[in-house]
A = this chain, B = another copy of it.
Amino acid sequence: MPATGTGDRIAEALQLVRGTLPITRRVCQPGTAIYEAGEVFRSLHIVHAGVFKLVTRSSDGREQVTGLQFKGDWLGFDGVASGRHGADAVAIDTSEIWTVRYEDLLRACATQPALMHLMHVAMSREMTRDRDMLLSICTLPADARVAGFLQQWASALAERGLRTDQITLRMTRAEIGNSLGMKLETVSRALSRLARDGLIAFCGTGRRDITIPDVDALGAIAGRHAATLQ
């Protein structure tokens, strides 16, 4: 499958960063944290391969997956405001991360407007995504949220030119549930219902590999529910 326009944009962005800044690369195994909440903020990171989850914690022990970052997404913006990170960034797949010192980035931005805009776009996109997430969680029932999650995952892969005919979820049911504001049993049931209705199909031995015959049909089930509201 050829890279899409968005995929090209991501590649260009990565090029631009690599061309204008000193970066360090690092490969991470699933489970390793790039940074953790409370750590002093010094650097930003760009996902070059793999997937990361952002985990926000409260002082009393509650925790919440507040974002999933794919290739081209940035990590670490949460530290800019206070000088300390506000979440953990954990690899959920074998991943490669590029790291740039925030200081270097600021300096480079002064002479490279394109670079600055790039960063702003990344932050802006992330804010929009967070809000869409909030919208889904607050207004959709469990099944639609799971369907939306799969659709988002699939389109994230598609944008990056990766195969979407067969998808391997790199998260447990509990993690998916946490990121969607529901419990693991609810995720399991939702997936079973989606499979029964033919919107997805499990393949392979484990139950983490799925195929999505029609991505748009998945996205439509959110709308279908909303329609019954009126």
Interface residues of A, Cβ cutoff 8 Å to B: 54, 56-64, 66-67, 77-82, 86-87, 106, 109-111, 113, 116-117, 120-128, 130-135, 137-140, 178, 181, 222-223, 226-227, 229-230
Contact = CB atoms under 8 A, between A and B. Distances in A.
B132 A56 contact: yes
14 contacts: A54-B131, A60-B222, A60-B226, A61-B226, A62-B140, A62-B226, A62-B229, A77-B124, A78-B131, A80-B120, A80-B123, A86-B128, A127-B127, A138-B178
A106 B113 contact: yes
A130 B127 contact: yes
A160 to B, nearest CB: 17
B110 A106 contact: no
Contact of A127 (B77, B110, B178): B77
Contacts of A106: 113, 116-117
Contacts of A57: 135
A126 B229 CA distance: 31
B126 A66 contact: no
B226 A87 contact: no
Contacts of A86: 128, 131
A66 to B, nearest CB: 4
Given A64-B135, A223-B60, A130 B130 contact: yes
A132 B58 CA distance: 8
A128 B227 contact: no
B222 A66 contact: no
A58 B226 contact: yes
Given A56-B131, A59-B223, A81 B125 contact: yes
A54 B132 CA distance: 12
A133 B134 CA distance: 9
Contact of A128 (B62, B78, B139): B78
A116 to B, nearest CB: 7
A109 B77 CA distance: 18
A123 B119 CA distance: 11
B229 A135 contact: no
A78 to B, nearest CB: 5
Contacts of A178: 138
